[in-house]
Structure 1
Amino acid sequence: MVQKFFEYDLDTAAHILESMTEEEAADVLKALPMPLSVRVVKVLQISYAATLLKDADEAFLREMTSHLDPQSATSILMRLPQEARERMTRHLSEKIKGQIRELLEYPEGSIGRTMTTDIIALKMESRAQEAIEKIRSLAKKRFPSSYVYVVDDDNRLVGVLNMRDLMLADPDKTLDEISRKDLFALHCFMDRHEAAGELAKRKFFAAPVVDSENRILGIIKAERMIHGVREDATKDIQRMFGAGGDERVFSTIWFSLKKRLPWLHINLATAFLAAAVVALFEGIIAQLTILAVFLPVVAGQGGNAGAQSLAVVMRGIVMREIPKDKIFQLVLKEGKIGAINGIVIGAVTALVAWLWYGNPYLGVVIGLGMLVNLIFAGLAGASIPLIMKKIGIDPAQSSSIILTTVTDVLGFLAFLGFAVMFQDALIA
C-alpha cells in the first residue's frame, strides 16, 4: 500500500515523509524498493535527505549511492558531517568520485567555498497551504535562514517568498504566483571581496548562490563571508608560470626549488627546441642579418596573442562556460580572431619593415610570418588548456610555458620559411 502511494503521488508522499520523525522516515525509505527510494531522495529537501542517509546502515548506503546520479550525490555529500561523508564516499565508484570532484571544484576565494548549503527551497507549483505546512514541519527540525526560495523542476531559482505574502495568500494559489521575482543572486564563482561589496551596497545580510544555469546551490551570509575573506587569488597565476600553487613567500628554499626546478628544465628544453628551429635557417640569417632583428618581434607578438586566448579559455574552464559540444567552435573562433589580428598586425609590421629596410619583399615576409604565427597562437592558446584538462592535467599548471614554445617554434618556422621562399628577391 505504501509503495503504491509513493508511486501514485511522489511529491505528496515526500511531503508527508518530511513531516515524520527522522527515525520513522528512515524506516519508510528502507522499506521501499531501491529505485523508488532513489526517486524519493531526489524530491526531498536535500538537507533532510542527507539527514536520513547520515545514519543509514552500510548495505542500504552502498545500494543507494550506486543508484544516485553525480548531481544528487554531490548535493547530499555537501550536507553530510565529515564521518558520514567518508562512509558514503567509500561506496562511490571512481567515475562518480571524479564527477563529484568536478562539481565541487569551486575556485579558492570564491563564495562557493564558504556558502551555506542548508536552505529551504520549495517547488513553484506547490500551493500556499502546502508550503506553510512544509515550512512548519521543517522549522521544527531547523530553519537555517529567514528566506524561503522558490525553484522549478530543475532546481532553478525563480522567486523568493515573503512570509507575509505567503500567510495572507489564498491557500490554493501556487508559490509561483505568490513569490517575488525581483531576485538578487550571486554566482558561485564570484570573488568573496566582490560579493561582500554587493551585499554591503544593498544592505543584505544574505543572498542566494546560483550556478551558471541559475540553479540554487546555497546561501551566502555576510557575516560568515567577511570572516572568511582571504588573499588567495595568486595560486593559479603561480601555477601558470611554473611555481607551485601552494608555495608562499617564506616557503623554505628547498620547497621552492622542488616546485620550480622541474618546470625550469621543461622551459629549457623548449627553448632549445626554438633555438634548433632558428639553427635550421643559419644560412639565410647569415646572408640577411636583418632577419635576426625581427625574430623577437615575431616571438613577442605570438606570445602575447596566445596569452590573450589562453586567459579567456582558462576563465571559461574555471567558470564552466565551455560545454563539450562547443569546444571545436571555441578553438575555431580563437583561430579566426588570430587571423584577423594577424592581417592587421602583419600589415603594420610589413609597412615598418619595408620603410626600414627599403625592400617591399621583407615586408611581405614579415607580414606573412606574423599572420601565420598569430593564427596558430590563437589556436594554441585555446586548445592547450583544453587538452591538458582532457588528459587529466591541471590546465593552470604551466600552460604559458607550453604556449610560448608553440608560438616561438611556429613563428620562427613561418617567418624564416617565407624568407627562404623569397630569398632571391630579398638579396637582390
Structure 2
Amino acid sequence: MNDTAREIESGAIREIEPEIRTLFTKVVERDPREAAKMLEPYPDEFVVDMLELLNPAAALKILERFESPRRQTILATASPETNQQWMRNQTYPERTIGRLMQPPLAVFRPRTTVAEATEQIRCLAGKAIITYAFVTDDQEKLLGVVVMRDMLLAQSNQTLEQIMLTNPFYLTPEMSLTDAMRSVLVRHYPVYPVCEKTGRLLGLLRGQMLFEAEAIELSAQPGEMVGVEREERLTTPWLRSLKFRHPWLQVNLFCGLLAALVVDFFRKRSIASLRWQYSCRCSSVRQLTLGCRHWQFACAG
C-alpha cells in the first residue's frame, strides 16, 4: 500500500464509505487506463467522489482515459468548484504545479468578520479539510492568509484583514515540480496558495501532494531508461509492459553486441600485433645466430 492509500488509514481523508475506501486502494495501485476501466461500471456520482480523493494530477489522467461522452457527464456531475478546477488544471503541462491544484474553498473578503468566516468554514469542513482561510479582493488577488489558531483566538467582531498574514508566499502554476521543491525547501507549510504572477488566486496545493509527486517523478527516471512507462504499476498487464520495454531491450542487446564486437576487434588487433612483434624478434635472433656462426667459421679458417 503506497502513501496515498495510507492517507485514508491516517484519517487525512475522513468519512469515506467502506465501498469507496476499498475501491480507492485498488485504484491508486493501477495505472490510469486500468483505473478508468475499473470505474467504468460505477455511476457518475461515485466516480466523482473517487476522483476527488485522488491526487488532482492522477485524477486528470484517469478522467482523460474515459470516452468523451462519459467524461463530459462526469464533469457535469462534479461540483462547480471541482469542475472549474479540473478544466483549469488541464491547461497546464504535466509535471507542473498547475496540474496539482485543488479548488480554494475558504476564500473571503477583507471585511468579513471572524464570526461570519467561522460559520462558513463549519459548512465547508464537511466537503474538504480546511487548513487556511484565504483573503482576496474583488479581483481575486490574494491579500493574506488566516491561520485557524489566529481565528480561534480573535474576537468574533474582528475582520479578517485585522488578523491575516499579509504578503503570503505562493507558488505559480507554471512552476515545475523541481523548482517548487526548491522554493518550499525552507517553507514547510501544509498548504500553499497557487497564484498567477499578478497575485490572482487560482487554487491551492497540499504539501504532501507536492512531495509525493516529486518522489514519483524521481523513482520513474531510472525506469524510463529501460522503457518503463511512468504510469506503469505492478498490476499492469504484461503484454502492455512488454510493448513498452521490448524495443528498449532490443536496443540494449544491440549496444551490448556492438560493444562486444569492438572489444573483439581490438583483441584480434592486439594478438596480431604481438604475433608480428614475436616473429620480428625471432627473425632478429636467427639473423644474429647466423652472423655469429659465420664469424666463428671465418675466425677458424
Please tell me the TM-score bracket, short chain as reference.
0.3 to 0.5
Q: Which has the higher helix share?
A: 1
Q: TM-score, normalised by structure 2?
A: 0.43
**TM value normalised by structure 1:** 0.31
